[in-house]
Amino acid sequence: MSILVNPKNNTFHLQNDHISYIMTVYPNGQMAQLYCGKPIHDKEDFSYLLEGSLRSHSAYVENGGDSISLEHTKQEYAVYGSSDFREPAIEVRQENGSRLSDFVYKSYEILPGKPALPGLPATYVESGDEAETLVLHLADETADMELQLMYTLFAGAGILARSVRVINNGSSPVFLERVMSFCLDLPDADYDLVQLSGSWARERTPVSHHLVQGIHAVESLRGHSSHQNNPFLLLKRPLTDEFAGEAMGFSFVYSGNFLAQVQVDTYNMTRVMMGIHPNWFCWKLEEGEAFQAPETVMVFSDKGLNGVSQTYHKLYQNRLCRGVWRNRPRPILLNNWEATYFDFDEEKLLNIAAKAKECGVELFVLDDGWFGKRRNDYAGLGDWYPATELLPEGIAGLSRKVEALGLKFGLWIEPEMVNPDSDLYRAHPDWVLSIPDRYRSLSRHQCVLDYSRPEVVDHIHGMIAKILRESKISYIKWDMNRSITECWSHALPADRQGEVFHRYILGVYSLYDRLTCEFPEILFESCAGGGGRFDPGLLYYAPQTWTSDNTDAVERMKIQYGTSYVYPVSSMGSHVSAVPNHQMNRITPLKTRAEVAYFGTYGYELDLNRLTEEEQEEVKQYSEYMKQNRELLQFGTFYRLQSPFTHNEMSWMVVSEDKKEAIVGDYRILSEVNAGFTRIRLQGLDKDTCYEVEGLGRFYGDEMMNLGLVTSNGSTGKPGDDVTAARDFDSTVYRLRAVED
């Protein structure tokens, strides 16, 4: 790993065994992008990559001769209005009303390791030799502003983390109307774009198309990263598949409004940008103040989509997630929500918890309805004190009783919301985001608290921290059940209302940081009506996220498959729920529900008392299997093998770091009649190692990777008398162990 600088021609080459990223300074002082891709040798002169050509009806920069038109060059951090007519990376409104910027190169510095981003989540290192950071200092002398472009190159992988800092050194305020965290100009457009889109209960579906001229934007203006679009893009060459070929991923470490955009011009040059969405964003920067943009993590791999995903998985598991739960296998939990909804009292909860303990569960979680006047969706949010008519000794008493059963205790909260029918709202109606004299939209009968106000965050922190101090709580599920409307703060002046969306997210991060630092042993799981805020920003504080409210096994195959494009198995909250499924009304086998949930944190979302004795015995077996294998399942190298979006048979697998163990999940969605033979080619094994496959025999790694593992079942050939041989929604989990000599 090295950052190579040629001061003679101001060229910067970030290089390791997996990637090269090369920049230089244009004659006009602006930064130019030269190359991003597979590693190449460094040399003194890369000037041949500075292509320029006279073109009709183009404008040329005054101090660059007639050979530099920014419209036709690859810029490192683009501006609009000075010969470039494409979308810009930055837009600054100055005192005279101008939005034109001219940031030119001044100096650089190279730092060991990686500096933190104040108030923001970001990837990190634990020693200086894990990464190296280049900081480019640019200046707009007319506006008296400084721009810092930060590039962190991680060792051992094609990872480049980028962020931007803007400083106002002038005597007048300026308004930042666009500050993208990432900008990359590529020389061609021969890419397929992959995004993760969907909606509630069908989050993060991979959607792909070939790039064409124009703009393709993936975005959220909902105040959170959203169910609809994830802050992630992937560009791959057309022949790249899961296992081979070049691909680049772009992941935004942020939880609020975002824009991920790809623009292809009429000369087939591609511009990729990612950052805070400029709509409804305007940040007033006073004299001497700085604005720090969030981080974007780019990953390059020539080993296919799995190569990109595995790089993200390892980085986010080990250098984004923090705290004692970063690498700790997750406890098997049971959440009471779909078991009781709001209909519970202490006796019912303890009855459910006792059966859960008997079936191998380690953590009992009390969901919504335990506080204030919360007996339905209409009241109580914001009043974070126990409902003693349901829980006579409060949360403290219930938590002690659950621990006496031999279980840990967890609790659901939704601290960013308030019902109009609540003591908090009646005392502080101005603490919600709303616009005077305009209609206030409700969603799920609730309003959004104004987390741009520190006093609101302080108040909520006080109530939640009191409960955590008084009780024996090992887990918190932090929910957020609506998008933001009427985004206006009663505490900010008119010229700062464009800051509210971002200040809100900074307030959320602040509360997360305070609680996780004060209670470091508590496992936090983030949630937003399921997967509405599954993003890297929250993984920094909560190492797992409720993947989706849809717990149907078949739908979860798709949701977890798509989520794995960027997020590790250890981050995916996955539960076995009751049938008929509460979202899909589908009936799937208990075995299949468990074997899908294995590839996640694993837990239960039902009352186990309602299962038959035979089913309860099954649950005990599944819980024991998970305990024996969860470290491999949650932290092994994950491979997508066959997609549920294109095949009736879906498969994935995890492999231990030493390649001595593996677990394969194979799922047949619908049974077939007189079907063909099937096999799946495994990945990641040692080709010379002989493995024992439970129930099948011994096979060498190269056999299973090149010939495949035979998965034909009773649907092949003439139907027989064995009715269990083939059925809808079937699954098989294969355990592989290296045969010792």
| Positions marked active-site | 479, 549
Residue 421, SS3 per DSSP: strand
Q: At what angle do helices 454-470 and 394-404 cross, to 10 degrees?
A: 40
The total of other beta-carbon atoms located within 10 Å of residue 199's CB is 12
Residue whose C-alpha is closest to residue 372's, from 335, 410, 426: 426
- Tokens encoding 16: 């390791």
**What is the rounded CA–CA span in Å between residue 511 and residue 272?**
32
- Tokens encoding 477: 């599920």
Residue 376, SS3 per DSSP: coil
Residue 488, SS3 per DSSP: coil
Helix (H) or strand (E) holding 145: strand 145-154
**What is the rounded CA–CA span in Å between residue 627 and residue 341?**
28
**What is the rounded CA–CA span in Å between residue 136 and residue 24?**
11
Q: What are phi and psi of 5, to 5 degrees?
A: -120, 130
Q: At what angle do helices 553-563 and 590-597 cross, to 10 degrees?
A: 10
**What is the rounded CA–CA span in Å between residue 297 and residue 647?**
31
- Tokens encoding 580: 């008929």
Rg (CA), the chain: 27
Residue pointed to by tokens 């837990």? 603
* Phi-psi category of residue 394: left, alpha or beta, with phi > 0 → left and psi -120 to 50 → alpha: left
**What is the rounded CA–CA span in Å between residue 315 and residue 297?**
10
Residue whose C-alpha is closest to residue 571's, from 596, 602, 593, 550: 602
- Tokens encoding 521: 């042993």
Half-sphere exposure of 359 toward its Cβ, with a 13 Å CA cutoff?
Answer: 29
Contact 565, 206 (CB under 8 A): yes
**What is the rounded CA–CA span in Å between residue 391 and residue 157?**
52
**Maximum Cα interatomic distance, the chain, rounded to a whole number of Å:** 86
